[in-house]
Amino acid sequence: MSQINIYHNPDCGTSRNVLGLIRNSGEEPTIIEYLKTPPDRETLKTLKTLIAAMGVPVRAVLREKGTPYAELGLDDSKWSDEHLIDFMLQHPILINRPIVVTPLGTLLCRPSEAVLGILPQPQRGAFSKEDGEAVVNAEGHRV
């Protein structure tokens, strides 16, 4: 079993880049495609645990772009953390991604190279993002 989990959306370029960086370190993570798994009580517990582990406010995990964020009025301060988490469970697309869990920490990896700070193993070679931007050189060092 992998020591790394990625809460992944394969339709997201940032998420695909993070997955590539994890694999470039020689690890094969457990991939959780959270949009395909219907939310349940366990998902609620997991989401609260992830947010707590990241040490960020619940609002920091909300995704605005390409979601019902505006239609639901989620920018209104009247919504408590519990309400916001309920919205994320009802509309998983509201959960910003990718979230990566490793033995070194839990992090919302935006930008994708943020994952480098929590990977247990170094990069094994050059890596460029899908758009061609070099992130890691041939020696495995951040560019």
Catalytic residue list: 12
Find how far residue 63's CA is from the centre of its chain: 11
Structure-token pair, residue 8: 């992944």
* Cβ count near 102 (within 10 Å): 22
Among candidate residues 71, 86, 100, the one with its CA nearest the CA of residue 39: 86
- Per the CB < 8 A criterion, the answer to whether 3 and 27 are in contact is yes
Helix axes 81-90, 41-54, angle to 10 degrees: 130
